[in-house]
Amino acid sequence: MKTRITELFGIEHPIVQGGMHNVGFAELASAVSNAGGLGMITALTQPTPEHLASEIARCQQMTDKPFGVNLTFLPSFNAPPYPEYIDVIIRSGVKAVETAGRSPEQYMGQLKAAGIKVIHKCTSVRHALKAERIGCDAVSVDGFECGGHPGEDDVPNFILLPRAAEELKIPFIASGGMADGRSLVAAMALGAEGMNMGTRFLATKEAPVHENVKQAIVDANELQTRLIMRNLKNTERVMDNAAVREIIRIESEKGDQETIDDIRHLVTGAKGKLVLQEGKMDEAAWSCGMVVGLINDIPSCDELVSRIMAEAEGIVRQRLAGFL
């Protein structure tokens, strides 16, 4: 299957693995890339630029296919050394970067001069248009269904994707609710040229997370995610657990007076690692999409991607063609 996304990134299938904190290591990124998609190492999961350089080198030993690096620009009193992380990405020869969070505008010149293709994650059409204006090569359009941060507009993909198609000239991929061949065909029918998967790739053999996490995804249905941090205008979709219920209790009690310090002990990356790496499922909030309702097994990345593409082709050639 050829789209502008497969051509842009030199990949076989229009499937991208989303950047995920404490998950986007070389094991998963290389497995997705070897399966014909575009794997992503998560830069800020690595504590220093030097650690990122080592992780990229490790991934390059595990695949000779294209992979990218996710770099999320976060509001912070002590900002990560973004220029140093970008220097590492450039020196390592990585040719694809997924940016997220705040606008990457101040770094675009450096990235483009190095010949790096930039795809920016957006939760609204206005942000996607800004990404196009500043020179991003593509965008990932994230609907309200997505795990992690869906923005504050609450627009689901059935509306957001065709709106993006109406406005954008650069290609975009769909994110949020993506799990299988049906997702891919539907996203492309609405104007996307590929799809981004996060939660679905968590439940794969190569995902470097605890088996309890993978099984929780398989066991869950579409009603088991919750939204937190709405009071803080930093909404996050997470899997329901004891920590999340405590966050919701605090948020209900504090209302507009809530600050991040009220819930920090339940949302830090260090606490999240207890869930993802040690399988202590009630220790912290962890990002998860509504797409858990469509996930029923734990395949290898190669099995998953091959299945998606076969299903997508079958839908287009047989089911849809049969309606004509």
For residue 3, the number of C-alpha atoms closer than 13 Å in the C-beta half-sphere is: 22
pLDDT beyond 80 at 297: yes
pLDDT of residue 79: 84
Whole-angstrom CA distances from 322 to 183, 186, 204 are 19, 16, 33
Distance CA 151, CA 233 (A): 8
pLDDT of residue 282: 97
pLDDT of residue 255: 95
Query: Nearest-CA neighbor of 94 among 63, 139, 133?
Result: 63
Q: At 27, which amino acid appears?
A: E
Q: How much of the chain exceeds pLDDT 90, in percent?
A: 97
Distance of CA 273 to the CA centre of its chain: 18
pLDDT of residue 242: 97
pLDDT of residue 76: 66
pLDDT beyond 70 at 78: yes
CB contact at 8 A, 68 and 10: no
Q: At 316, which amino acid appears?
A: V
CB contact at 8 A, 42 and 207: no
pLDDT of residue 218: 98
Q: Write out the H or E segment, with its range, that includes residue 224.
A: none
Distance CA 246, CA 93 (A): 44
Distance CA 275, CA 210 (A): 8
pLDDT of residue 55: 98
pLDDT beyond 80 at 285: yes
pLDDT of residue 74: 81
Q: Is 60 exposed, middle or buried (0-12, 13-18, 19+ CB in 10 A)?
A: middle
pLDDT of residue 77: 59
Mean pLDDT over each residue of the chain, to the nearest integer: 96
Helix (H, G, I), strand (E, B) or coil at 98: strand
pLDDT per residue as tens digits for the range 222-279: 999 999 999 999 999 999 999 999 999 999 999 999 999 999 999 988 899 999 999 9
pLDDT of residue 211: 98
pLDDT per residue as tens digits for the range 112-153: 999 999 999 999 999 999 999 999 999 999 999 999 999 999
pLDDT per residue as tens digits for the range 7-42: 999 999 999 999 999 999 999 999 999 999 999 999
pLDDT beyond 70 at 62: yes
Helix (H, G, I), strand (E, B) or coil at 67: strand
pLDDT of residue 270: 86
pLDDT of residue 269: 85
pLDDT of residue 174: 98
